[in-house]
Amino acid sequence: MCLVVKSSWIDEALLQTLYHHLFQEGRHPDRWRLHRRVIGWALDWTMDNTLTLSALRMALSRRVVGPDLVHHSDRGSQYASGDYTDLLKENGIAISMSRKGNPWDNAACESFMKTLKYEEVHRNEYRDLAEARSVIGEFLEKIYNQKRLHSALGYVPPAEFEAHLIRQQKEAATRPLS
């Protein structure tokens, strides 16, 4: 997939950074569902570690890092760079990467990319990179996170699912022990 920006092309790899910054809390496989929400993303002309660092910094500014936080990505050099892994380690985040040659490890990301392409990117032509950032950002923040229903989340949007879990955790924490 390529994103058309006037007569230039932005490779799919640039958009791949969007979903890699979904964090997993705890190491239990079912708990990652909490974070179908996109919390960090970046879009630029080149796919290098400054792009992924921007997306990671956005995610870090939006979340408190818990003790069992795991960051999962593919094995791209931008995710394995010293600057990127150092920032993860500085924030106490465990690093997880897909096994070599095993795309199934990143199935959730691939599914997200299909959704992003089908519901936003392929339906639009962007005048320039600034417009692409603006329109895609609005889609991610206002549609994907706030309105789009996810079967894996019981047919509710990620923000609603997350809010419900937070309410449940608060109620459980304040419930008297019997």
DSSP character for 162? H
Nearest to 23 by CA among 77, 81, 64, 78: 64
Give bridge partners of residue 95 from the DSSP assignment.
71
Rounded distance between C-alpha atoms, residue 12 and residue 37, angstroms: 20
Instruction: Express as a percent the part of the chain with pLDDT over 70.
Output: 76
All residues at 6 or more sequence positions from 155 whose CB lies less than 8 Å from its CB, including other chains:
149
Average pLDDT, the chain: 75
**pTM given for the model:** 0.76
| Residue-range domains of the chain with CATH | 2-102+125-174 (3.30.420)
- Candidate from 4-13, 24-33, 43-52, 86-95 with smallest mean pLDDT: 4-13
What pLDDT, on a 0 to 100 scale, did the predictor assign at position 142? 95
pLDDT of 59-95, one tens digit each?
888 887 877 777 777 777 788 889 989 998 999 888 8
pLDDT value at 155 more than 90: yes
What pLDDT, on a 0 to 100 scale, did the predictor assign at position 65? 80
At 7, phi and psi to the nearest 5?
A: -105, 5
